[in-house]
Structure 1
Amino acid sequence: MELFDNLNLAMFSGKGGVGKTTTSCAFACQWAKKFPDEKILLISTDPAHSLGDVLQIQVTDTPTPLQSLPNLSVRALDANLLLEDFKQRYGDVLELLVERGSFVEGEDLTPVWDLDWPGLDELMGLLEIQRLCNEKVVNRVVVDMAPSGHTLNLFRLMDFLDTLLNSLELFQQKYRYIKESFAGKYTPDEADETLKNLKDELAAGRHLLQESPKTACLVMALPEPMSFQETRRFLDSLENLKIPYGAIFVNQIVIDKDSSGDRCLEQGKLVSQFMELAGEKSVYLIPQQKSEPLGITALENLINQISPAESLPLSTSGEVNIKWPEKIPPGFTDFIEEGRRLLIIGGKGGVGKTTIAAAIGWEMAQRHPESQIRTVSIDPAHSLGDAFGLNLSHEPSIINTNLKGQEVEANRVLDKFREDYLWELAEIMSGEKPDNSASFEMAFAPQGWRQIVEQALPGIDEILSLLTVIELLEENQEDLIILDTAPTGHLLRFLEMPSAMQDWLSWIFKLWIKYQDIIGRTEFMGRLRTLRKRVVNAQKILKDSQKTEFIGVIRPQTGVIAEAERLYQSLVEKEIAQNYVVLNCFTSNSIVPSNKFPEAKVVCMPMLPRSIEPMEQIKGAANYLF
């Protein structure tokens, strides 16, 4: 582990549920002990973080030193507080720049700060990581990242911010041109200075993440096929984004010889595949713990057990007797008979949401051959195809006669959203006329707004996923849709999108009412009204307990159950029905936490055999669930 002592920024990411939080906490504690004269900061960018659950302390946006390790502080980033701070520092100037690039007065832009932004957690997380490192607030930073799909969204924000600043520069160029035309000269103002500072900060941040030998993304994984496939895709994406990764950590390695033979055989083969995937990089193995490593002492014990893959030989061959465990009542009732149209499967990363979603889809299709069923993944890091053992894409694929699978591609939906709304909205904001009759004073503005639309904000997945679901329900082509969602924090963002989108549309309508003589475009506003009706309808469907039901998935782990309990309360507040919680990986030693979910039945699903084909696993899971 001395290999990482030269780092100033260590970012832990990977598929949900692979142990990012636990390992990042252990890593930070080790650094704090090893470098007692340095200030270490452990932060989380995950909106549903569990740092407090692992460290057994209260964690907020204010850095909190650990009593036993006072040089280590812990902080969970609060995107809304960071946005408020960002607004205080740059808000007035940014509003001024947008005003200079559009027909809108500054006072009409102020409400935008109070709207829900897609990708806000990622945006504020990126800016704060860059600030902490650039300003050398601490000596070393350990980041517990959100699961891989949203981590990639965070890294992609560098390109978005580049484009945004270039567009703001075009708005400022237009302003300079007008000033020089009428006054004969131009004197740089606060906007010029702010743009320069922001560009310098972004360039330093990009260098920090892409080129600094002091930075690395440490990739967590499990010795499971779906985790391997997602890790492979994640590493490809990191390479495309020019983000260096330092090593792969494979967690929950079974070293007990009396453990399940098929699991030991599978993990041996997968560790070999991870080593091949890593190439010249190192692979480290983390043994499965007998109990959850909670608190400083347990974390210190965990870090001492991490070893290079080469030093721990694992079996890769042998005969395996596959044993299916006994079925445990109660199970699900028949969702189609009960009139459900939409099932939302959610929970903490890595608890088995995708397998549960696939199994429900399979069983409903078998029971109701006359009904059309579709299982849809809206997680930016899809694994639904891996669960079925198939290559799925944005276009629905036939899995069985009446069962389809789909992995929503945000770029495909975004392209359609651009064509339907965003290109014309960019023209409106710039003051460009439909007949290209805009005066020369506006020459720079249309290009700037088109650039912003072209490079859409990463994290817009939640809005686009909502539109996809609306369309599927409106078309009435499916009798039941099962959504495989992103982990908890981003699932909540998705469920908040109907209200957020209505707020954005209301702001646009207010602008139009004030400036309709300038804007015109009555037909376009009519289309936006239709969109608002669709969004309102989506919100009604989400709250209709006869049509929609949320199914939570948990594992018998303290941190997972604590997060699920918080999610359960959030759903109660949002008036979304939850009648079931699936306790995945149930064993005879597991305690069923029925008291945590008073209005929901707990359905127990035991550990499934490992050395079987993906589709057989799905069929087996379906048998246990119903």
Structure 2
Amino acid sequence: MSDIDYELPDPSLKSIVTHDSLKWIFVGGKGGVGKTTSSSSISIQLALNNPDKQYLLISTDPAHNLSDAFGEKFNKDARKISGMNNLSCMEIDPTSTLQDLTQSNGDPSDPLQNMMGDITSSIPGIDEALSFMEVIKHIKKSQKKDGESNDIEYDTIIFDTAPTGHTLRFLQLPQTFSKLLAKFDEITSKFGGLLNNLGGGKQDIYAKVTELKELTKLINEQFTDPELTTFVVVCIAEFLSLYESERLIQELNEYGIDVNTIIINQLLFTQNDDPCKRCQSRSKVQNKYLDQMDELYEDFHLVKVPLVNTEVRGLEKLTKFSKFLVNPYIPGNSVDLD
């Protein structure tokens, strides 16, 4: 046994909230575990604790739950959340982004358009990858340039990702675009003469593919830098959720993406004299998995969040809920958000 005392990581998100250099924060996990609530809460805490910085919360989940969470409508154009001066939201539609790449001139009879449609539809994960590229393009356009633009420059981007399977394809972005570019090169080599006759349509597609190639290289470099990027896993204390979370963590490690924080949602902290037998039984099961996680992820920030008394919707309730992420819940304290 070492004489050096080992200090467990803080069971909160304070390290993320106070991190000065993070540019990208991904939030993901199995469906139905509270990813949107968690990503919204992280964003709120970042904004409240760093009032001089600007934050952008983005949904890449086709379900677009951010609008429901905050009770106001968001779309592909970033807009500030009502009541927050330094937090904006946007929701990206992967389907429309895919159409934007493949439809160079809007003419369904265009053979180049049809070829690009065939290429993209044959590559798994292309819709997620393209949705992310749309985000990056939007952010690049909105950055300040020599004081000429009044658009917001975001210090950190927080992603409310789709359920785990989609997220993993989303993180394969560099490999996905390598396949797309290879397919495109194959087509241009095989049908060079035909493509040359298409004039502007060909150049339009070339410009889009070149832009995507450059952006992919840039983002791939930033994703593997733990000073710039981290991934927060969200789960509940149940077997399937923990199994999927472990799979996600292993994949993230393979991609070289930093992951050291897990939010465990919907926990029942019952007392020994609690009259609710069902609650006692549920809590016992949860504690079994919590013990496993404490052992398996001893180097992680394990943020244990209680099951609250109401649906978490609207800025006021989200703000109250977000405090559980930075101030560890003490069993016996109130879980009332009303």
Tell me the TM-score normalized by structure 2. Answer: 0.73
CA distance in 2 between partners of 1:193 and 1:68 (Å): 40
Give the aligned partner of residue 217 of structure 1: 231
Shift of 1:125: 2.3
CA distance in 2 between partners of 1:114 and 1:165 (Å): 14
Give the aligned partner of residue 207 of structure 1: 221
Among candidates 147, 154, 161, match of residue 145 of structure 1: 161
CA distance in 1 between partners of 2:84 and 2:326 (Å): 24
Shift of 1:147: 0.6
Give the aligned partner of residue 273 of structure 1: 292
Shift of 1:113: 6.1
Task: Give, as a single letter, the amino acid of the residue that structure 2 aligns with 1:146.
Answer: A
Alignment of 1:527-546 (within 5 A): none
Among candidates 88, 109, 112, match of residue 109 of structure 1: 112
Give the aligned partner of residue 11 of structure 1: 26
Give the aligned partner of residue 41 of structure 1: 56
Which blocks of at least 5 consecutive residues in structure 1 are unaligned?
A: 93-105, 177-188, 315-626
Task: Give, as a single letter, the amino acid of the residue that structure 2 aligns with 1:51.
Answer: L
CA distance in 2 between partners of 1:296 and 1:290 (Å): 16
Among candidates 65, 75, 86, match of residue 50 of structure 1: 65
Tell me if 1:83 matches 2:98. yes
Give the aligned partner of residue 533 of structure 1: none
Tell me if 1:160 matches 2:176. yes
Which blocks of at least 5 consecutive residues in structure 2 are unaligned?
A: 1-12, 144-152, 193-202, 333-338
CA distance in 1 between partners of 2:204 and 2:137 (Å): 21
CA distance in 2 between partners of 1:48 and 1:162 (Å): 28
Shift of 1:219: 0.1
Shift of 1:167: 4.6
Q: Is contact 1:169-1:195 (8 Å) kept?
A: no
Shift of 1:278: 2.2
Tell me if 1:284 matches 2:313. no
Change (3 A) 1:261 1:307: farther
Give the aligned partner of residue 67 of structure 1: 82
Change (3 A) 1:168 1:238: same
Give the aligned partner of residue 299 of structure 1: 318
Change (3 A) 1:239 1:129: farther
CA distance in 2 between partners of 1:193 and 1:22 (Å): 38
Give the aligned partner of residue 2 of structure 1: 14
CA distance in 2 between partners of 1:272 and 1:145 (Å): 27
Alignment of 1:233-252 (within 5 A): 233-252=247-266
Shift of 1:161: 0.7
Task: Give, as a single letter, the amino acid of the residue that structure 2 aligns with 1:25.
Answer: S
CA distance in 2 between partners of 1:131 and 1:272 (Å): 43
Among candidates 246, 252, 256, match of residue 232 of structure 1: 246
CA distance in 1 between partners of 2:61 and 2:302 (Å): 25
Larger Rg: 1
Aligned residues: 286
Task: Give, as a single letter, the amino acid of the residue that structure 2 aligns with 1:274.
Answer: M
**2:261 partner SS:** strand
How far does the alpha carbon of each residue in 1:191-230 deviate from its partner, in whole angstroms, 9 at most, with x for none?
A: 8877654433211111122235211110001011221111
Shift of 1:3: 0.7
Shift of 1:288: 0.8
Shift of 1:129: 4.1
Change (3 A) 1:172 1:294: same
Change (3 A) 1:69 1:112: farther
CA distance in 1 between partners of 2:176 and 2:163 (Å): 20
**1:61 partner SS:** coil
Among candidates 123, 133, 137, match of residue 127 of structure 1: 133
Shift of 1:255: 1.9
How far does the alpha carbon of each residue in 1:515-569 deviate from its partner, in whole angstroms, 9 at most, with x for none?
A: xxxxxxxxxxxxxxxxxxxxxxxxxxxxxxxxxxxxxxxxxxxxxxxxxxxxxxx
How far does the alpha carbon of each residue in 1:91-135 deviate from its partner, in whole angstroms, 9 at most, with x for none?
A: 48xxxxxxxxxxxxx941223567894645412222134445666
| Higher RCO (C-alpha under 8 Å, 6+ residues apart) | 2
Among candidates 255, 263, 268, match of residue 282 of structure 2: 263
Q: Is contact 1:65-1:71 (8 Å) kept?
A: yes
CA distance in 2 between partners of 1:230 and 1:11 (Å): 16
Task: Give, as a single letter, the amino acid of the residue that structure 2 aligns with 1:160.
Answer: T
Q: Is contact 2:270-2:280 (8 Å) kept?
A: no
Change (3 A) 1:213 1:73: same
Alignment of 1:321-332 (within 5 A): none
**1:226 partner SS:** helix
Please tell me the root mean square deviation across aligned C-alpha atoms, in Å.
3.2
Q: Is contact 1:122-1:153 (8 Å) kept?
A: yes
Q: Is contact 1:247-1:283 (8 Å) kept?
A: yes
How far does the alpha carbon of each residue in 1:69-94 deviate from its partner, in whole angstroms, 9 at most, with x for none?
A: 03212111122433354457xx48xx
**2:252 partner SS:** helix
Give the aligned partner of residue 387 of structure 1: none
Task: Give, as a single letter, the amino acid of the residue that structure 2 aligns with 1:219.
Answer: V
Change (3 A) 1:34 1:262: same
CA distance in 1 between partners of 2:82 and 2:206 (Å): 45
**1:297 partner SS:** helix
CA distance in 1 between partners of 2:209 and 2:65 (Å): 36
Shift of 1:253: 1.3
**2:134 partner SS:** helix
Tell me the TM-score normalized by structure 1. Answer: 0.41
**1:218 partner SS:** strand
**1:70 partner SS:** coil
Task: Give, as a single letter, the amino acid of the residue that structure 1 aligns with 2:43.
Answer: A
Shift of 1:171: 6.1
CA distance in 2 between partners of 1:230 and 1:291 (Å): 26
**1:304 partner SS:** helix
CA distance in 2 between partners of 1:113 and 1:168 (Å): 8
**1:204 partner SS:** helix
**1:284 partner SS:** strand
**2:172 partner SS:** helix
CA distance in 2 between partners of 1:121 and 1:193 (Å): 19
Q: Is contact 1:134-1:205 (8 Å) kept?
A: no
**1:238 partner SS:** helix
